Copies of this chain bind each other. A is one copy, B any other.
């Protein structure tokens, strides 16, 4: 078997001069922070030279950010050491503004602006909030905008690529950390828009699940071997309303009798074909991502008994 550790041997380590250049913080100061507050504890070489990781650098950037906003270094240190959740002192309902900015950026194919807005939102709110407050409404808005405009397909592709990269990176990053139950997630055949599954996967990750993500348009017959090989704890499918309920029933039915683990179905079909889904002994999921995950969790527990 392959016994490769998800270790830090793959993480890159930088000497203090590089970190100093990159962050603009005097190396003397970096050392002082470490000595005085225990902030940033870089690894050391055998001879004692400091080795900073990218993560450390990100942390420093975060510190600089707060410094620039007037916080004292001592306070920041206490915050970080106690991992105190920062109070979100932002009462502005900026979602509409965010959305407008993003639409403009997309129209210009301007990845810089697009990213700036998105990052700004992400720095203030957790993923699932950004997802439900910004991304979902935005996708809807864009759907309308794209009805019949020239360049709209290109816009859609551009934004799809961007968003998939962004969410995908996050998914990947988080997935490697999780140790909870394993879920197989896939889109139903005919479903080409994988954002539903991807967003769902992200929500799942935030609840600690491990997710095996199989993307769009997968024949359900493919799922049995996957479930067998991976010993997953559940299967989650998602599909939009455009699917045929009868056809769906047949597929689900054969899948459910082929595997011993529970099968969930989310997305719009869960609404439109609810009866057929239940008749096939699969479990429909509400559209609300978080609620859906709760159902999955409790069902898995019941199943484990």
Q: Is A30 an interface residue (CB 8 A)?
A: no
User: Are the C-beta atoms of B161 and A214 separated by less than 8 Å?
Assistant: yes
Binds B, one of A101-109, A264-272, A273-281, A285-293: A101-109
Known contacts A212-B158, A225-B151; is-contact A175 B45 (Cβ 8 Å): no
Name the residue on B nearest A175 (C-beta): B111
Binds B, one of A117-125, A246-254, A297-305: A117-125
* Neighbouring B residues of A71 by C-beta, 8 Å: 12-15, 18
User: Are the C-beta atoms of A2 and B222 separated by less than 8 Å?
Assistant: no
In Å, the complex CA distance between A246 and B131 comes to 44
Contact of A215 among B2, B160, B223, B226 (CB under 8 A): B160
Known contacts A168-B164, A222-B153; is-contact A158 B109 (Cβ 8 Å): no
Digitize A147-168: 1 where CB-to-B-CB distance is under 8 Å, 0 elsewhere: 0001101100110111011101
Given A2-B104, A12-B71, A154-B225, 9 further pairs, Cβ under 8 A: A5-B116, A12-B66, A107-B229, A111-B172, A151-B225, A158-B226, A161-B214, A165-B171, A165-B172
Interface CB pairs A-B, < 8 A, 14: A6-B112, A6-B115, A10-B119, A15-B72, A18-B69, A45-B74, A49-B72, A115-B172, A115-B176, A153-B222, A154-B223, A154-B226, A157-B218, A162-B172
